[in-house]
């Protein structure tokens, strides 16, 4: 697999194209996204085994959403039987990919524990300690995110073996680190900085106004921003590996 090296501006273009894909079929994009998060919520409710099952299933779930995005991109709608493309043919490989995801997640949890995670008092948190913990979690989780960003599509669509898919995903994201850096900064601005600023400005008027603004922003994030982000994952794959990959 050949990963293209894209300019930094593609980090913005993925989000712009993601919004266009959302506008092409808002009900379907929203349904795909809400279904994804609903499955996460329900599986996590299972006692003891829930988090483990979820980690195993995440690559398959990601591929299902990507299938929907690809259909909307090509046809503007979902054709019968296309949502589960690649699942039957690559079910064993996707399960193995989920196993790699589980193994990597357990390793991440072990590293967080060894770093002093249990010493953090969440009942009376120290802001400086929480900031250090958040930065540590970001640094440790970043390789995991990069490893599985493209891996589900590489395995499900291109038939790449799980270990190779993880390797190619890491290489592709590193080759395009500028685009991903811009992508992350824009998401932070849209999803964190701007909403926070709007809530602060609204709070200057009254607490009720601030509460209303916060509620509207939460709805927009779930019904618009989340589908756009899900679409942008597919679009980044399409741009980096090509539409036919």
Domain membership of residue 3 (yes or no) is no
Domain membership of residue 200 (yes or no) is yes
Domain membership of residue 1 (yes or no) is no
Give the position of tokens 């290489």. 171
pLDDT under 70: residue ranges of the chain = 116-130, 243-245
Note down the domain range covering 180.
Answer: 10-241
Characterise 85 by phi-psi region: left (phi > 0), alpha (psi -120 to 50), beta (else): beta
User: For residue 67, how many other CB atoms are within 10 A of its CB?
Assistant: 22
What pLDDT score does 119 carry? 58
Domain membership of residue 171 (yes or no) is yes
d(CA 161, CA 108): 23
Domain membership of residue 4 (yes or no) is no
What pLDDT score does 240 carry? 97
What pLDDT score does 6 carry? 96
What pLDDT score does 95 carry? 96
What pLDDT score does 141 carry? 87
Token representation of residue 10:
């593609």
CB 207 within 8 A of CB 32: no
What pLDDT score does 31 carry? 96
Domain membership of residue 43 (yes or no) is yes
Q: How many Å separate Cα 51 from the centre of its chain?
A: 17
Domain membership of residue 215 (yes or no) is yes
* Domain count of the fold of the chain: 1
For residue 129, give the H/E element and its range: helix 127-147
CB 83 within 8 A of CB 68: yes
Domain membership of residue 41 (yes or no) is yes
């Amino acid at each position: 697999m050949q990963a293209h090296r894209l300019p930094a501006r593609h980090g913005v273009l993925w989000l712009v194209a993601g919004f266009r894909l959302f506008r092409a079929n808002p009900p379907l994009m929203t349904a795909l996204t809400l279904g994804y998060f609903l499955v996460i919520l329900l599986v996590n409710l299972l006692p003891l085994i829930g988090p483990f099952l979820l980690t195993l299933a995440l690559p398959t779930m990601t591929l299902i959403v990507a299938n929907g995005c690809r259909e909307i991109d090509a046809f503007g709608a979902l054709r019968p039987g296309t949502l589960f493309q690649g699942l039957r043919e690559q079910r064993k490989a996707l399960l193995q990919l989920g196993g790699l995801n589980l193994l990597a997640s357990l390793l991440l949890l072990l590293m967080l524990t060894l770093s002093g995670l249990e010493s953090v008092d969440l009942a009376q948190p120290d802001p400086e300690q929480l900031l250090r913990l958040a930065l540590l979690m970001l640094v440790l989780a970043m390789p995991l995110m990069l490893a599985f960003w493209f891996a589900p599509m590489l395995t499900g669509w291109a038939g790449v073996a799980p270990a190779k898919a993880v390797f190619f995903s890491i290489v592709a994201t590193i080759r395009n680190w500028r685009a991903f850096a811009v992508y992350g900064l824009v998401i932070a601005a849209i999803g964190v900085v701007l909403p926070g600023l709007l809530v602060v400005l609204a709070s200057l008027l009254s607490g009720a106004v601030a509460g209303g603004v916060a509620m509207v922003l939460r709805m927009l994030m779930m019904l618009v921003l989340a589908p756009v982000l899900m679409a942008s994952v597919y679009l980044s794959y399409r741009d980096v590996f090509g539409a036919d990959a």
